[in-house]
Structure 1
Amino acid sequence: MQPYQLAITALVSFLITVSMPLNFESVAILSPSLTAVQTQAESRKAEAEQLFQQGFEQYQQGQLETAVEFWQQALKIYQELQIREKEGAVLGNLGIAYKILGEYAVAIDFHQQALAIMQQIKDRQGEGQVLGNLGNAYEAVGEYEKAIASYQQSFAIAQKLKDLPGEAIALGNLGAIYATLDDNDQAIKYYEQSLLIAQEIKNPEIAGFLLNNLGTLYYTQNNVSKALATYQQSLEFAQAVGNQQLESEALINLGTASEDLGNHAQAIEHYNEVLKIAQENGDRRLEKSAFNNLGHALFNSGNLVEAESKLREAIKILESLRPGLNDTEKVSIFDTQILSYNLLQQILIAQDKFEAALEVSEQGRARAFVELLAKRLSSEVAEQSRLNSDSPSIAKIKQIAQEHNATIVEYSLVPDEDFKVQGKQRGETSEILIWVIQPTGKIAFRRVGLQTMRQQNETTLASLVASSRESMGVIGRGFVNLVPKPENQQTEEVSLTESLQKLHQLLIEPITEFLPTDPNARAIFIPQESLFLVPFPALQDASGKYLIEKHTILTAPAIQVLDLTYEQSQSVSELAQDILVVGNPTMPTFKNGDNLEQLPPLPGSEQEALMIASILNTKALIGDQATKVEVVQKLPKARLIHLATHGLLDDIKNLGIPGAIALAPSKNDDGFLTAGEILNLKINAELVVLSACDTGRGEITGDGVIGLSRSLIAAGTPSVIVSLWTVPDQPTALLMTEFYRYLQENSDKAQALRSAMLATKKKYSLPYNWAAFTLIGEAE
């Protein structure tokens, strides 16, 4: 199946989208039948072949939508005639076309249908080519592990069939994805193997792709001059074979390298050429890259108005690429897009458009979560929720702060411009952007540069957050035990104090004047990336005072999520009147390497559950009573849920969402309630408390933290209390019982949690004993 076409994988240099490394895609070509038509079936077959060929001609001319129309007609006839081989070929071509059009969910579905047919009819070469194209589609949405598996299967088939072009393509695709994952050694190995084959079979097109990819590898290693020379070679190959897409990829990379050398005019010229090709061919992802890079070059050349216009066009395309994907795919693809939103924020801030930059900051976070929440809200508010799934305006952001009667603090992290990143990777943070929205509607903006901090002690923001957490490791409910920090261990306390004070200096001091003076007034922090792991209650000012002593603290992944959890709190089902308290279930077993091990029992959590049940005038489920089956059955009827057990960080059932709660096993059930399973439940509770280790953690993405807390909120609860580390047993039991005592007197969950933290702090002074828990969502 010739010719070989490409799919684009984004590679970002700071905020410049380099459209390499490239993938290869194989488009099927069928020759129309020229024989006389003898029967109706033969006539239909000839019609289908003609439609197929017309579709291919339109594809070659960049008329993808017209190509799709012809191929859809051909597909219908081949299905009627049950000509499976040609049905599979059409399905594969439709997958390629829809991927270029940016309709990734449709593309993946067509490729999977084509693969099933090729396997059924035992067309091994067709199977290998479809696997390569399916890998391209997976890579486009950031599903890298699935892409690698597809490429490896494609290579194995090509090798068995002694299909040298197929081998070269599969090896080139593997090299491209390993470059995207920043594994340069693996990338070079695959590129070199592929290039040797391309030279052996004298295929200039494959060689051109590989040279472009190698140029990108040199570029990420800061060897700009070698990258330029290699890109130029690739461009010459592209022009020699007349491959416009390869030509455009070489041009966009030449533009990026030119920008690095300060030649913005040359870069803009290259990007405009790419934009023309992308628009002629209907290639949405390449068009986005061209707009993004034009915006970056114009920004650096001082043309801010035009730069803003180009970035808004890029983001408009990004927004059009996500519909139709499932939640996991939306999270994955959004994680590859976040830097374009960040660049637009910087362009707006350079024009003193601070409020417009806040709107873009919101537009660039938790989009999949917002869409999931809006979709799952009850029917009474569903229509309004759909209207609210668009990113909020400044007027709406002010309204949300007023409805919550809270001061909202949103952070946005700017990556280092000198760092070359690929795919989902991020550069080290060079600057923190901070907006403060007061309940009165007043908005303040501050920016905090980190270059000096990094130059002085080589500490990055992420490592500072990590060191503050490492200082608070304890032996607790997690089955992986860390070294405890005794109360009298002064050297550890000094180290911890320093890190907490430094974080306070960076995150809080620049905005202190805008935070509420009343300690009972709410402050809601909206983190990003590594800041999701910051223990905000434990941050310390220069005098040693903790932030929780001065403020009532909540968190959320986005301001818009607060709007939707507020809607959830207004529509909690009246059917949910029960109270569910679980403590120390009979522990399930988990696979640790080749061995099955049982999680250790938690006698402290059992006592905690019994005390809380007494306070709430209910009966706790303990031991064998706390089966997963029983708990899941009771979840929808509970207005308050407290689970004191083990929390796990891993995706133990490979459902694509990390996190699980340990419950008692029963017949045909292993006892683990996973985040993926919770996502499919309907929970009507006003509050869920996960009194376990690390329940607020998970996979940190551009969409927020993917784990237990996200699943619980998506399942229906507007308020979740979760932990940020392995919590100690006795202090946690005290904190939780105090929390419910205060909650009985005051319905404000945030104030109750603050009071419980302060009460626990009196007995257990170090913050790892009392600062692990955070309230996400609604206070009331």
Structure 2
Amino acid sequence: MRQKLLQVLWIVLSLVSFNTPQVAWSQDDSQLRQVYQRLIDSFDADLAEARRGDWGDSAREIQVFQGAGIAHQYFGNYQKALELLEEALTRSLQTQAYPMAGSLLYQMSSVHSKLGDYLGIQFLESHLEIAKARGDRQYQREALKYLALAHMSSIQYQKAIPLYEEYLALVRSFNDVAEEVATLGYLASAYGTLGEREKMQAVLNQQLAVARASGNPELEKMALSYQSSWAVVGQDSQAAIQAQEQALQLARASGDVYQELSSLQQLAQYQATAENIPNVISRLEELLSVARQRLNPDTIGLWEAQALEYLGQTYAHIRDYNRAIELFQQSLAIYTESDRKATQTNRLSALESLAKAQFQAGQLDQASVTLQKAIEVHEIRRQDLDRFINLFALSRDDLQLSLRETLSDLYRLQQQIFIRENRPEDALVSSETGRARAFVDLLTMNLAVDPQTPINAPEPTLAELSAIARGQNSTLVQYSVILDRPRFPVMRFGKQSPREILL
């Protein structure tokens, strides 16, 4: 069930785009704090400037209130943030800037979530009632959209379905075909997650029909992507491949190179699920060729690095570890050259893959070094995400738990390395570190006085573990679940069976 929910989450996040808050990303935390502090310090002057003249600039005035509200939210001043965002929302409705009003509803729901109203559901419900009482169908549409999304995010699919059906009727009344196609995708996802396969497929078929009738190839590709993604969830790899092949042809016909690359990548992943290794390699090599021939130097990096990494995972699966290591190193070199923070996740994936291939090849020293780098990058990524945690509905507890699986996987590999080197004591320490890390982080985050400055908690040592065992007159025994073959971050080859090791 858990794996199914993860697949559903991936479908929703990969196929759907949402209005997101204006976040100032920065390489340095002190710079970031300065950016938001300047928004607060310059608020009065910025607002006066926006109101200058006979009519003023209403759009700029809304932006000033929104920017200051987000800045206060970043610093944890939630009541002040709500006050400013409410002003921005009021002005958005007065000027009938409904997309902005929707964005503000989404932002305010995240603030309410911090104050105990999980995902801002009660807040959104109240604004839906306000919109209905006013007879404001545009505002009702925005409130429905984000309320349904909140219920989807909280895994309350039964509540999300009637909201999406109501939202769908409104969208159709406005003749918004693009949003209609997207909404049918959300509705199908809700049915699919509940296991109502017939209803899901009926909605997906309706989505594809609407998309094709629109004559918009982008909408048809979206619908085909939903078809293929849910076919994978239903373990129908061939149906997924057929749908994605159609999407690939549409991308090529429209000349959209990025959609073509995306379809090739998806096809490779679906072929991996079907364990058709020659086709996996063929599609990834094709992806690599298209990226190198048609992308400019500013955009090729990520696509090239991903293709190399996925090829490496494929060769590792067929136990050609030397070739896999070579490809992972090429991919990692490209990721490392980039200074963009968005590639920390990519670097972590490549490092994890490289460490696993080195371990399988018997290169234990190299695997240990690579694995330690992966753990360090994981911590950097966690800190990057944590800096913005106040800006989103996700709590610190949710963040730690969402990152735990990746970290646990890294520590499991470290245990295997230590066992292979006949170092059971070190394996025990690694096991305890990986198992307890998330719990310790939850405690220290909640104990921190400044939400932007968490407390650092030291990792346990062998001496400390031994002292605890002696004090309790007990023997420490740790079980770890590992896979017979390495599980890679992206490519999934057929089914894998776990087993246990005793430390």
> SS where residue 406 of structure 1 aligns?
coil
Deviation, structure 1 residue 419: 11
**CA separation of 1:159/1:361 partners in 2, compared to 1, >3 Å: closer, same or farther?**
farther
**CA separation of 1:220/1:114 partners in 2, compared to 1, >3 Å: closer, same or farther?**
closer
TM-score with structure 1 setting the length: 0.37
How many Å separate the matches in 2 of 1:372 and 1:224? 43
**CA separation of 1:341/1:366 partners in 2, compared to 1, >3 Å: closer, same or farther?**
closer
Would the aligned equivalents of 1:412 and 1:432 in 2 still touch at CA under 8 Å? yes
Would the aligned equivalents of 1:78 and 1:84 in 2 still touch at CA under 8 Å? no
In structure 2, the residue matched to 1:669 is: none
Deviation, structure 1 residue 153: 0.2
**CA separation of 1:230/1:42 partners in 2, compared to 1, >3 Å: closer, same or farther?**
same
2:414 aligns with one of 321, 324, 348: 348
How many Å separate the matches in 2 of 1:294 and 1:195? 36
1:217 is the counterpart of 2:230: yes
1:409 aligns with one of 474, 477, 480: 477
In structure 1, the residue matched to 2:442 is: 371
Deviation, structure 1 residue 128: 3.6
How many Å separate the matches in 2 of 1:402 and 1:298? 39
**CA separation of 1:49/1:160 partners in 2, compared to 1, >3 Å: closer, same or farther?**
closer
> SS where residue 478 of structure 2 aligns?
strand
Deviation, structure 1 residue 137: 5.5
Deviation, structure 1 residue 172: 0.6
How many Å separate the matches in 1 of 2:166 and 2:5? 26
> SS where residue 412 of structure 1 aligns?
strand
> SS where residue 144 of structure 1 aligns?
coil
In structure 1, the residue matched to 2:499 is: 431
**CA separation of 1:82/1:221 partners in 2, compared to 1, >3 Å: closer, same or farther?**
closer
Would the aligned equivalents of 2:65 and 2:87 in 1 still touch at CA under 8 Å? no
In structure 1, the residue matched to 2:305 is: 272
How many Å separate the matches in 1 of 2:358 and 2:170? 55
Would the aligned equivalents of 1:415 and 1:429 in 2 still touch at CA under 8 Å? yes
- Unpaired stretches in structure 1, ≥5 consecutive residues: 1-8, 29-36, 55-64, 66-70, 435-444, 446-780
Deviation, structure 1 residue 408: 2.7
Matches within 5 A, 1:234-273: 234=247, 240=254, 250=263, 253-257=266-270, 259=272, 260-262=275-277, 266=284, 272-273=305-306
Of all paired residues, the percent bearing the same amino acid is 14
Deviation, structure 1 residue 431: 0.9
In structure 1, the residue matched to 2:203 is: 190
Matches within 5 A, 1:137-536: 139=152, 143-145=154-156, 149-160=159-170, 162-163=172-173, 164-179=177-192, 184-224=197-237, 226-234=239-247, 240=254, 250=263, 253-257=266-270, 259=272, 260-262=275-277, 266=284, 272-273=305-306, 288=345, 290=346, 294=350, 297-298=353-354, 301-302=357-358, 304=367, 306=370, 309-310=373-374, 313=377, 317=381, 321=385, 323=389, 338-352=404-418, 355=426, 359=430, 362-363=433-434, 367=438, 371=442, 375=446, 387=455, 392=460, 397-398=465-466, 400-401=468-469, 404-414=472-482, 430-434=498-502, 445=503
> SS where residue 150 of structure 1 aligns?
helix
Would the aligned equivalents of 2:217 and 2:250 in 1 still touch at CA under 8 Å? yes
In structure 2, the residue matched to 1:704 is: none
In structure 2, the residue matched to 1:24 is: 16
Would the aligned equivalents of 1:238 and 1:247 in 2 still touch at CA under 8 Å? yes
TM-score with structure 2 setting the length: 0.53
* One-letter identity of the residue aligned with 1:406: S
Matches within 5 A, 1:720-759: none
How many Å separate the matches in 2 of 1:202 and 1:418? 44
Larger C-alpha radius of gyration, 1 or 2? 1
How many Å separate the matches in 1 of 2:210 and 2:281? 37
Deviation, structure 1 residue 125: 4.2
Would the aligned equivalents of 1:414 and 1:430 in 2 still touch at CA under 8 Å? yes
In structure 2, the residue matched to 1:44 is: 57
**CA separation of 1:394/1:291 partners in 2, compared to 1, >3 Å: closer, same or farther?**
farther
How many Å separate the matches in 2 of 1:357 and 1:11? 29
How many Å separate the matches in 2 of 1:115 and 1:25? 22
* One-letter identity of the residue aligned with 1:199: R
Would the aligned equivalents of 2:15 and 2:226 in 1 still touch at CA under 8 Å? no
How many Å separate the matches in 2 of 1:160 and 1:80? 22
In structure 2, the residue matched to 1:90 is: 100
How many Å separate the matches in 2 of 1:299 and 1:175? 39
How many Å separate the matches in 1 of 2:187 and 2:155? 10
Higher share of residues assigned helix: 2
> SS where residue 432 of structure 1 aligns?
strand
**CA separation of 1:187/1:306 partners in 2, compared to 1, >3 Å: closer, same or farther?**
farther
**CA separation of 1:326/1:20 partners in 2, compared to 1, >3 Å: closer, same or farther?**
closer
- Unpaired stretches in structure 2, ≥5 consecutive residues: 21-49, 68-73, 75-80, 289-302, 308-330, 360-366
* One-letter identity of the residue aligned with 2:16: F
Higher share of residues assigned strand: 1
> SS where residue 475 of structure 2 aligns?
strand
Deviation, structure 1 residue 156: 1.6
**CA separation of 1:204/1:172 partners in 2, compared to 1, >3 Å: closer, same or farther?**
same
**CA separation of 1:319/1:243 partners in 2, compared to 1, >3 Å: closer, same or farther?**
farther
Deviation, structure 1 residue 43: 0.7
Deviation, structure 1 residue 340: 2.3
* One-letter identity of the residue aligned with 2:409: L
How many Å separate the matches in 1 of 2:203 and 2:344? 28
* One-letter identity of the residue aligned with 2:215: K
Deviation, structure 1 residue 170: 2.5
